[in-house]
Amino acid sequence: MQYIKGLNHYVYEGKTAVTFGKFDGLHLGHRKLIRTVKELSEKEDVESVVCAFDMGQSNVLMTKEERKLHLENEVEYLVDCPFTKEFSELSAEVFIRDIIKGVFHADFVVVGTDFQFGYGKRGDVHMLAGYKKQYRYELIVIEKKCYRDRIISSTYIKEVLREGKADDAANMLGYNFGIAGIVEHGRQLGRTLGFPTFNVLWPQEKIVPPKGVYLCRVYVDGRGYNGIANIGVKPTVSDEDKVWIESFLFGYEGNAYGKEVMVELIEYVRPEQKFSGKEELKAYVNRDIKYGKRYFEIKK
């Protein structure tokens, strides 16, 4: 897959099947769009393209780097499109003429039923249908997916995550919510207490679920390990306000400092709390580890 930052850096002149959207989280609804452009690229003489609008938002479900990792073997092109003032002021017809056909040379346009585009969001699927003969593309409109009688959306997923419902989020995402990051040196407290941990800084732009202890699965060096993780600011041992995810892996032996890992959240166990000291902290962590090992043993 080719990852391209900015429409001006996309230079492929061949025909494409393209889908547009924010693609925050790459949930099951997004997956239907992506699967369709992928299938079209396999059947027709076109390349598959995902054009992701970069709104510059905070509290996102997925960083741009994580989206790139998730789409690595799915499509030929991932194009990040910054939603600049100039871009936002394009009229709907100019978007069709200059972006859909002018940039992407689209033979197929794949969008959801609620897709809107152009200045004032005046463009929609009806307008795309009205211009398809003039600009010579085929329009494919994909119906929304639902979960518990509600349309799956990034907003819906954020709501359940804020309630600590990692399982509901996973059911809508199609994978376990978590973060990708580099293991950094912490205060070495876990090692002195008998359970060395992986410390990964939580991305500033990414939504933080309730702070506390989670069951987790961590992927390092191509292998997955069950464990427990704490999301928080380490209130017992630190006065910093940075949010970290600190994971203890069952059965892992080795040095992971400097390695990129993926930490997935499985289940929320308890909220973060400040303990009277290291001994009380150690007792609670041992209890969490026992619960985690029992949980994963049952799930085998």
pLDDT of residue 195: 66
**Does residue 236 register a pLDDT over 50?**
no
**Does residue 102 register a pLDDT over 60?**
yes
In DSSP terms, 52 is beta-bridged to 21, 80
pLDDT of residue 234: 61
Instruction: State the fold for domain 176-299.
Output: Elongation Factor Tu (Ef-tu); domain 3 (2.40.30)
pLDDT digits (tens, 9 = 90+) for 71-85: 999 999 999 999 999
Exposure string over 262-296, b if 16+ CB within 10 A, otherwise e: bbbbbbbbeeeeeeeeeeebbeebeebbebbbeee
pLDDT digits (tens, 9 = 90+) for 51-72: 999 999 899 999 999 999 999 9
- C-alpha torsion angle, residues 144, 166, 235, 207 (rounded to 10): -10
User: Would you say 8 and 99 are in contact if contact means Cβ atoms under 8 Å apart?
Assistant: no
**Does residue 35 register a pLDDT over 90?**
yes
pLDDT of residue 235: 45
CB atoms within 10 A of CB 239: 7
Residue located via tokens 């709104």: 55
pLDDT of residue 47: 98
pLDDT of residue 191: 52
**Separation of alpha carbons 111 and 140, rounded Å:** 7
pLDDT of residue 126: 98
**Does residue 194 register a pLDDT over 60?**
no
Instruction: State the fold for domain 2-147.
Output: Rossmann fold (3.40.50)
Mean of pLDDT values over 225-242: 75
Percent of the chain with pLDDT strictly greater than 70:
94
pLDDT of residue 74: 96
Confidence bin at 186 (pLDDT 50/70/90): low
pTM for the model stands at 0.92
pLDDT digits (tens, 9 = 90+) for 120-175: 999 999 999 999 999 999 999 999 999 999 999 999 999 999 999 999 999 999 99
Domain ranges of the chain: 2-147, 176-299
pLDDT of residue 190: 56
